[in-house]
Chains A and B, each alone.
Chain A
Amino acid sequence: MPTKTAKPDYRAAADAVVARYGRDPDFLIPMLQDLQSENEHVPPEAMKRLAEVLDVPLSRIYSVATFYTTFSLTPRGKHLITLCVGTVCYLKGAKAVAEAIQGRLKIEPGGTTEDRLFTYQPVNCLGACALAPVLMIDEKYYGKVTPAQVPEILAEYGAKEKP
């Protein structure tokens, strides 16, 4: 776990993933996935380093990192809220749940709260349609969620009382 004061060495992090997959741009997506999961985002310094080592234009790395929703260029919050907005969840009221989350935390889809506690990410389908609408925080699932339950669920993760 990096200490809060020292800035992590993202160039070294990039070198580490290249060492793992080899200098083959074919593996760019797995490399970025590793960077994302190990650093909670894809740091721009790491992208620059990847461009140097893999000998591809930075624009290509940037385009890949911004095309796929799995990558984020800014650090994500401590807890990831994943709300399923697939067809079944939509039919069963995911929209109202989304509004409740966005209203409660004052964030937009893909956004992170100011206190960096939560990042909110709607996804297309979690494949747990029997329990629609489904909400997932980090690894934990919540089924048949109603807007009224949202404040209670968020409080489990330390969301502050209603501002």
Chain B
Amino acid sequence: MIVATERLLNSPADLARLREEAAARGKPTGTVISLCRGGGCEVKGSGRLFAALQGAVEEVRAGGKDVQLKRIGCHGFCEIGPILIVHPGNILYCNVQEADVPEIVRETILGGRAVARLLYADPDTGKSVATSQEIPFYRRQTRFVLRYNGFIDPTSIDDYIAMGGYAALAKALTEMTPEQIIKEVELSGLRGRGGGGFPTGRKWRTCRDAHGDVRYVICNGDEGDPGAFMDRSVMEDVPHSVIEGMIIGAFAIGSHQGFIYVRNEYPLAVVRLRQAIEDAHRYGLLGEDILGSGFSFDIRINRGGGAFVCGESTALMASLEGKVGEPRAKYVHTVEVGLHGKPTTLNNVETWANVPYIITNGAKAFASVGTEGSKGTKVFSLVGKITNTGLVEVPMGMSLREIVCDIGGGVPGGRKLKAVQTGGPSGGCIPESLLDTPVDFDALTKLGSMMGSGGLIVMDEDTCMVGVARYFLDFLVKESCGKCTACREGVAQALHVLERICAGKGQPGDVELLLELCDILEVAALCGLGNTACNPIRSTIHYFRKEYDEHILERHCPAHECRGLFKFQIVAEKCKGCGLCKKECPEKIITGERKQAHVIEAAKCTRCGKCYEVCPFSAVAKV
């Protein structure tokens, strides 16, 4: 028996033995039902569903049937959640509700038949498909970082080890020197997944070569870009891959203390990481003398305070020191003078999670995927006006069109795709005409956007591009820390001008004024938040100048989004003459007899939109 305080693994051989045991134990003998408990499915009620399944499974087991219920991390296809997978057969059920449980038990678990109505229907062929491999959303993906998603219980270190987890660490500690590890990461071509795309190997080398004997490694889990939830999924669903990557990095760099800085809005990620760290300690994979190699390393978790700017490396480090999250000028690099003035390597969650793959499979395998300048894969959260909302991992170099239209299923409701926004508030909008651009760091930058952490937000023809720029600038005004004048005043001034345009009070010359502000922000702001604030403005002006002009010169919003810049009109053919709009109109300017088409008196209309909201027949149109 193992005493609780004693560590489980003292050598790579111990780890290999445990892997065999865990794999044998984890091998399903009967039926296994795996329920996705990722963020999307959780919101759709997979927690309650899990409880219902638990009860049902217990009953079936009491009857002598070998069946197991398993919780898995985000499976990716949030749109069709809650997702349930049944082995054997790898049958994928979508939109599963509590009411479906008895039928699943009766038909699938006891009867061995699929429940046809719960299968995914391919929108192209209309046919139902049983397994995830047959669904286009999954078929076109290449999964490095998310390779264990959907297979392991995020709370089980044994599951991770059984799949081959921590083998990279054992290899790094016993078969490789720090120099060889850095060389391997350099050769792989891995670039920072947080958005900037700085070569990871070069960062590690500079940090290792920096003066001083104390070094730190940090994992940036302050995923602040709205519409991006890739890092959240990695931290919640495969926390050990982040930890393993960090230990390998620390060994290569010569660090003994690491930090994971997790965004405040991600409480579950904190819980999962905390448990993963505890388990790793218990197994002897963290702490003193890891796997008997003599190398010691520990990790501390810090929760953010809800400040977007803390995703910036120097602000994050200030926050870790218990200070206000204000960035500093970076002419002295943090790899040389970082946290507490010591050499510090900061990488994003996804970057760390790529490291075990590179060490296990070699730089060559990793670099065989991707483009000339961007190797490997990238995880994106595919969101907005898109049919298949979810989390996808694709090889670098895949075109935006393939991601959005083939994997994402395009824009729903027959609407037209207008633009794809990448890079969060620091990125830009890429118009439909340029969707054939391959996704890599350099190609996106060339288009005036950036990779960012990986949010891909799809916008359709109902989205006002001036409004989008206004939205991001409003976001940045609230999140600007206020330290440097260029950002504090410049972003606020740009927002002021954009608000004026959206309110129909734009003046000729406003567009030029915005571009001038962009020039200043780009060179004068202290950190990336201010420097890149110009991206949403410039990209929308560059690709959608016509919309700006229409707002300013014609006082008209072509997307019918800016209130006051479009009119309401009753479509006579659709109007049933119910009189609801007439009753609700605060100006009492709608006329018409009962059961006759009504009319709005355009000259007196304040364009409040009340009639549009209340009409049960969608007979009020925006023109």
A128 within 8 A of B: yes
Distance between Cα atoms of A144 and B459 in the complex (Å): 17
A53 within 8 A of B: no
Q: Are B383 and A130 in contact (CB under 8 A)?
A: yes
* Stretch from B221-229, B363-371, B486-494, B589-597 that touches the partner: B221-229
Interface range for B = 35 or more
Interface centre among A70, A89, A123, A128 (most CB of B within 10 A): A128
Instruction: Give, as a whole number of angstroms, the nearest-CB distance from B456 to chain A.
Output: 11
Q: Are B471 and A87 in contact (CB under 8 A)?
A: yes
Q: Are B264 and A70 in contact (CB under 8 A)?
A: yes
Residues of B within 8 A of A88 (CB): 226-227, 383-384, 457
Distance between Cα atoms of A141 and B324 in the complex (Å): 31
B463 within 8 A of A: yes
Which residues 18-76 of B have a CB within 8 angstroms of A? Answer: 39-40, 42-44
Distance between Cα atoms of A74 and B169 in the complex (Å): 47
B381 within 8 A of A: yes
A71 within 8 A of B: yes
Residues of A within 8 A of B324 (CB): 63-64, 67
* Stretch from A11-19, A20-28, A111-119, A149-157 that touches the partner: A20-28
Distance between Cα atoms of A67 and B463 in the complex (Å): 33
Q: Are A129 and B389 in contact (CB under 8 A)?
A: yes
A91 within 8 A of B: yes
Q: Are A130 and B81 in contact (CB under 8 A)?
A: yes
Which residues 283-341 of B have a CB within 8 angstroms of A? Answer: 302-308, 319-325
A124 within 8 A of B: yes
B151 within 8 A of A: no
Q: Are A69 and B224 in contact (CB under 8 A)?
A: no
Residues of B within 8 A of A63 (CB): 324
Which residues 41-62 of A have a CB within 8 angstroms of B? Answer: 60
Which residues 97-117 of A have a CB within 8 angstroms of B? Answer: none
B279 within 8 A of A: no
Distance between Cα atoms of A30 and B302 in the complex (Å): 7
Residues of B within 8 A of A27 (CB): 322
Distance between Cα atoms of A92 and B471 in the complex (Å): 13
Which residues 389-406 of B have a CB within 8 angstroms of A? Answer: 389-390
Query: Can you list, as one digit per residue, whether each of B431-468 has a CB less than 8 Å from chain A (1) or not (0)?
Result: 00000000000000000000000010101000100000
Q: Are A130 and B306 in contact (CB under 8 A)?
A: no
Q: Are A128 and B307 in contact (CB under 8 A)?
A: no
Residues of B within 8 A of A127 (CB): 39, 223, 228-229, 232, 265-266, 381
- Report 29 cross-chain contacts, Cβ distance below 8 Å, ordered by A residue: A28-B322, A29-B302, A60-B323, A67-B325, A67-B481, A68-B264, A68-B304, A68-B306, A69-B307, A71-B305, A85-B226, A86-B227, A87-B455, A88-B383, A90-B226, A90-B471, A91-B384, A124-B224, A124-B265, A125-B224, A125-B226, A125-B229, A129-B389, A130-B40, A130-B43, A130-B79, A131-B40, A132-B383, A134-B43
B residues in contact (CB < 8 Å) with A: 39-40, 42-44, 78-79, 81, 223-229, 232, 264-266, 302-308, 319-325, 381, 383-385, 389-390, 421, 424, 455, 457, 459, 463, 471-472, 475, 479, 481
A residues in contact (CB < 8 Å) with B: 25-30, 33, 60, 63-64, 67-71, 85-92, 123-132, 134, 141, 143
Smallest CB-CB A-B distances: 4 pairs? A68-B305, A86-B226, A127-B229, A130-B78
